[in-house]
Amino acid sequence: MEVKVKMPDLSTTEGTEIAILKWVVQVGDRVKRGQVIVEVETDKAVQEIEAIANGTLTSQLVGPGDRVPVGQFIATIEVSK
């Protein structure tokens, strides 16, 4: 089963897009729920987004420098059984 990771609402300013700074893990890497997978920058600070499931990162749907609205899918994880 594959799960999609959404850009969470990290900003206090409504309607703000969040910038992708760098991917901490790469496609094909195994991840654990709660592990940091990407660093982003809001209007206030640099923050980390964590994996939402145990498994393998199968795609990065956005790259460094991209600005992403809250709720947009940013990655997929193939869930381990």
pLDDT 10s digits, 50-74: 999 999 999 999 999 999 999 999 9
Q: What residue spans define the domains of the chain?
A: 2-79
Residue 60's beta-bridge partner residues? 75
**Statement: 2-79 belongs to CATH 2.40.50.100:** yes
Pick from 74, 65, 73: nearest CA to 21: 65
Report pLDDT for 44. 78
C-beta separation of 28 from 37 below 8 A: no
**Global pTM?**
0.89
